[in-house]
């Protein structure tokens, strides 16, 4: 219906959307080397599921250890290795590659190019990342994903340099991915004002990828150099003349943009699929554009809110960072305002209410509100110097943002794309199980983490004292985490089963039907 509206680039939709069985038709050669954007994207999506399973298994193991006080079966080194790999695999291996792969898949279709420019760079980005993941698993670093020098140079693990090298490789991989996103974002034909919002997202975040991975690359190089003593004066190691503050500034100049790298493409998925489900354009196009530009522009200077800059405690610089951080809150609020207004402005079709991707999207918005509102509090120096800095409050915040929002939005994208790359519809019942287990599990997990943080539970511990509230909070984090794990199993079964036995999809898998009772024939296939 409403074909003309669908062709409007501001709808985030265009032609070229044909359901077909791509997944089972891929040959080994295509899986390894094909530069077709759909093949690269599918490879990336499937690989990130493997990474999620890997990172999730690590979490399942260490959550079991944390459920009750005292040491049960994981020692400090094994626990910290699992924790480090959990963080690195989830962010660098699962979340960023998943949203980037979905962008690779959707951008050429949304822009109408039907091909990915600089696909070779996307291919290289994939393989460099695989190399980094292999190095991480072999090297088993235990310095957490932030790799703070000089601790990360003195872990007593003789393969720790593999972790440093992996950081450098991740930087190269993400730089290439950013270049591909930016090149494709500017490949639209309609000029500035006709560029779909997904391309605005890819363009701004592509630039941010390229700018912010330079400091990350330097961190990787500097750690390698300090570890192997390539220079007579160290970069970061204070015992050989280096500066820890220098490390912190360089690292967090990447580290804060790093949280936007999955965040912005996830926002872009909303701007693409929400109009499809609602059957009308977003509430405001330019509000979205402005928000994307502001978010990318503000990302790098506010990195120092992640640590306490020395010499400037309570000084003007820290205050500047505090104000700027709170101001960067505004573009995110503009996005949420835009989404809620789009939902509010016209009746929501029955077909949308029933669709799993739409449900994931609504709850992802709920999680961005839940986790995002605390950003306003976290930005302020006074509460940060009380219970926020490096307590469980921080994992609560970033699990809500990384997983509750970005991760769930990525899964909304995967469910949305599922009929397009398998030619079949997913199983609705299993989809619902996955959906509810994740919403309830994530809510329990994030809330319990927040409470633990409020009670000053420190991050990165494998054992803790029996202080009132601590054990209860940890128990609930574990329960929530395990619900998420079971939900993921439902998703995996659904993926494999429905790809083979799901109901065949003819043309449009997502028709907009306002009253399903009146027109049951047009209901989306289950």
Partner 1 sequence: MENALGIWGPQAIMMAITASFTIFGMIMLLAAVLMKRRWKPSYTVEFAFIGLMLGLVWYGDYLSQGTYSAYQKNLNTEEKKVSGNYSGLDEQAFDRTVTVVAFQWGYAFINEDEEISRNAVVVKPGEKVLFKVVSNDVIHGFNVPVAQITAEIDPDEKRELWIKAPDKPGKYLIQCVNYCGVGHTQMKAWLVVDAGEGESS
Which is closer to partner 1, CB of 231 or CB of 341? 341
Which is closer to partner 1, CB of 112 or CB of 301? 301
Which is closer to partner 1, CB of 392 or CB of 490? 392
Q: Shortest approach of partner 1 to residue 358 CB, angstroms? A: 10
Binding of residue 67 to partner 1 (CB under 8 A): no
Q: Which of 197, 205, 259, 365 binds partner 1 (CB under 8 A)?
A: 365
- The rounded distance, in Å, linking the Cα atoms of 384 and 70 is 28
Subset of 268-287 contacting partner 1 (CB under 8 A)? 283-284, 287
Binding of residue 249 to partner 1 (CB under 8 A): no
Which residue, 477, 482, 436, is CA-closest to 457? 477
DSSP symbols for 124-180: HHHHHHHHHHHHHHHH---STTT--TTGGG-SS-TTHHHHHHHHHHHHHHHHHHHHH
Candidates 2-10, 113-121, 159-167, 312-320: pick the segment binding partner 1 (CB under 8 A).
312-320
Structure tokens at 409: 């939005």
Binding of residue 389 to partner 1 (CB under 8 A): yes
- The rounded distance, in Å, linking the Cα atoms of 254 and 209 is 9
Subset of 77-106 contacting partner 1 (CB under 8 A)? 77, 80
Q: Shortest approach of partner 1 to residue 348 CB, angstroms? A: 7
Which is closer to partner 1, CB of 49 or CB of 337? 337
Binding of residue 380 to partner 1 (CB under 8 A): yes
Which is closer to partner 1, CB of 171 or CB of 248? 248
Which is closer to partner 1, CB of 254 or CB of 370? 370
Q: Shortest approach of partner 1 to residue 359 CB, angstroms? A: 10
Q: Which of 362, 440, 486, 522 binds partner 1 (CB under 8 A)?
A: 362
Subset of 105-134 contacting partner 1 (CB under 8 A)? none
The three-class DSSP label of residue 504 is: strand
Give the per-residue SS3 of 169-203. HHHHHHHHHHHHHHHHHCCCCCCHHHCCHHHHHHH
Contact criterion met (CB below 8 Å) for 215 and 250:
yes
Candidates 75-83, 113-121, 193-201, 202-210: pick the segment binding partner 1 (CB under 8 A).
75-83
Which is closer to partner 1, CB of 366 or CB of 475? 366
Question: How many residues sit in the footprint of partner 1 (CB under 8 A)?
Answer: 80
Residue 458 sits at φ, ψ, to 5 deg, of: -75, 155
191: Cβ contacts below 8 Å, ≥ 6 apart: none
Subset of 326-345 contacting partner 1 (CB under 8 A)? 326-327, 329-330, 333-334, 336-337, 340-341, 343-345
Residue with tokens 């220079």: 231
- The rounded distance, in Å, linking the Cα atoms of 520 and 526 is 12
- The rounded distance, in Å, linking the Cα atoms of 331 and 334 is 5
Q: Which of 2, 32, 50, 313 binds partner 1 (CB under 8 A)?
A: 313
Binding mask 145-184 for partner 1 (x = CB under 8 A): -x-x-xx--xxx----------------------------
Structure tokens at 157: 């693990």
Cis peptide before 150 (omega within 30 of 0): yes
Contact criterion met (CB below 8 Å) for 108 and 114:
yes
Q: Shortest approach of partner 1 to residue 366 CB, angstroms? A: 6
- The rounded distance, in Å, linking the Cα atoms of 250 and 219 is 7
Give the per-residue SS3 of 418-452. HHHHHCECCCHHHHHHHHHHHHHHHHHHHHHHHHH
Q: Shortest approach of partner 1 to residue 84 CB, angstroms? A: 9
Q: Shortest approach of partner 1 to residue 437 CB, angstroms? A: 20
- The rounded distance, in Å, linking the Cα atoms of 41 and 1 is 29
Q: Which of 22, 124, 207, 369 binds partner 1 (CB under 8 A)?
A: 369
Binding of residue 229 to partner 1 (CB under 8 A): no
Q: Which of 15, 32, 76, 186 binds partner 1 (CB under 8 A)?
A: 76
Binding of residue 490 to partner 1 (CB under 8 A): no
Which is closer to partner 1, CB of 46 or CB of 516? 516
Binding of residue 376 to partner 1 (CB under 8 A): yes
Label residue 90 exposed, middle or buried (CB < 10 Å: 0-12, 13-18, 19+): buried
């Amino acid at each position: 219906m409403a074909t003309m509206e669908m062709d409007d680039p501001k709808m985030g939709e265009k032609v070229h959307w044909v359901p077909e069985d791509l997944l089972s038709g891929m040959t080994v050669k295509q899986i390894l080397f094909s530069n077709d954007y759909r093949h690269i994207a599918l490879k990336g999506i499937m690989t990130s599921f493997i990474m999620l399973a890997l990172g999730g298994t690590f979490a399942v193991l260490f959550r079991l250890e944390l459920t009750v006080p005292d040491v049960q079966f994981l020692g400090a080194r094994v626990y910290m290795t699992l924790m480090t790999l959990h963080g690195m695999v989830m962010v660098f291996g699962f979340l960023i590659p998943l949203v980037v792969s979905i962008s690779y898949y959707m951008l050429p279709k949304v822009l109408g190019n039907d091909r990915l420019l600089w696909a070779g760079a996307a291919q290289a980005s994939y393989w460099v990342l695989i190399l980094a993941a292999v190095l991480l698993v072999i090297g088993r670093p235990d310095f957490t994903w932030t790799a703070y020098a000089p601790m990360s140079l003195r872990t007593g693990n003789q393969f720790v340099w593999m972790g440093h090298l992996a950081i450098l490789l991740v930087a190269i991989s993400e730089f290439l991915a950013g270049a591909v996103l930016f090149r494709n974002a500017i490949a639209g034909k309609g000029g500035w004002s006709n560029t779909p919002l997904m391309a605005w997202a890819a363009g701004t975040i592509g630039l941010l990828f390229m700018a912010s991975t330079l400091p990350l690359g330097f961190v990787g190089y500097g750690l390698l150099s300090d570890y192997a003593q390539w220079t007579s004066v160290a970069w970061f190691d204070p015992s050989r003349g280096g500066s820890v503050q220098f490390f912190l500034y360089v690292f967090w100049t990447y580290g804060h943009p790093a949280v936007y790298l999955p965040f912005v493409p996830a926002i872009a998925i909303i701007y693409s699929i929400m109009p499809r489900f609602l059957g009308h354009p977003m509430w405001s196009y330019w509000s979205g554009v402005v928000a994307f530009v502001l978010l990318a522009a503000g990302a790098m200077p506010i990195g120092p809110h992640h640590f306490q800059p020395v010499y400037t405690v309570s000084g003007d610089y820290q205050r500047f960072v505090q104000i700027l951080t709170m101001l960067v809150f505004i573009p995110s609020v503009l996005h949420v305002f835009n989404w809620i207004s789009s939902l509010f402005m016209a009746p929501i079709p029955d077909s949308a209410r029933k669709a799993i991707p739409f449900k994931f999207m609504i709850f992802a918005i709920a999680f961005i509100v839940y986790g995002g509102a605390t950003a306003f509090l976290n930005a302020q120096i006074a509460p940060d110097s009380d219970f926020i800095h490096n307590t469980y409050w921080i994992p609560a915040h970033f699990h809500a943002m990384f997983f509750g929002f970005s991760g769930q939005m990525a899964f909304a994208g995967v469910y949305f794309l599922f009929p397009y790359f398998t030619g079949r519809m997913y199983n609705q019942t299993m989809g619902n199980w996955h959906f509810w287990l994740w919403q309830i599990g994530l809510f329990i997990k994030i809330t319990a983490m927040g409470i633990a943080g409020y009670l000053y539970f420190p991050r990165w511990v494998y054992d803790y004292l029996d202080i009132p509230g601590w054990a209860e909070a940890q128990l609930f984090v574990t329960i929530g985490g395990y619900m998420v794990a079971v939900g993921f199993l439902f998703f995996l079964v659904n993926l494999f089963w429905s790809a083979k036995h799901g109901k065949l999809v003819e043309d449009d898998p997502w028709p907009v039907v306002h009253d399903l009772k009146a027109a049951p024939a047009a209901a989306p296939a289950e």
